[in-house]
Amino acid sequence: MQIIALIIIGAAAGLIATRLMRLQTDLLTTVGIGVLGALVGGLVLRFLMMVGGWLAGFVGAVIASMLIIWFWQRLRNR
């Protein structure tokens, strides 16, 4: 079922991409462009989400560490 969805989404994406780029191609080429674009785009998006997840975790850790330091300084100054 996922392959059918990939072909349908690829065909739609290929159609839109070829029209936006003003490229005249036959149906098989349009679907091929779209399926390849869906695969490459999916891989790139997953990579960016993975890196973004790591980055978000790092930023969260820094902010939490700063909050702990601030709280610790407030307790020490009492």
Per residue in 6-47, pLDDT (tens digit) is 788 888 988 899 899 988 889 899 888 988 988 888 888 888
Q: How many CB atoms neighbour CB 38 within 10 A?
A: 19
- Residue 1 above 80 pLDDT? no
Question: What global pTM score does this model have?
Answer: 0.62
Closest CA to 16 of 3, 36, 33, 4: 33
Q: How does residue 57 score in pLDDT terms, banded at 50, 70 and 90?
A: confident
Which residues have a Cβ under 8 Å from the Cβ of 78 and sit 6 or more positions away? none
Closest CA to 3 of 45, 41, 49, 39: 39
Average pLDDT over residues 51-78: 84
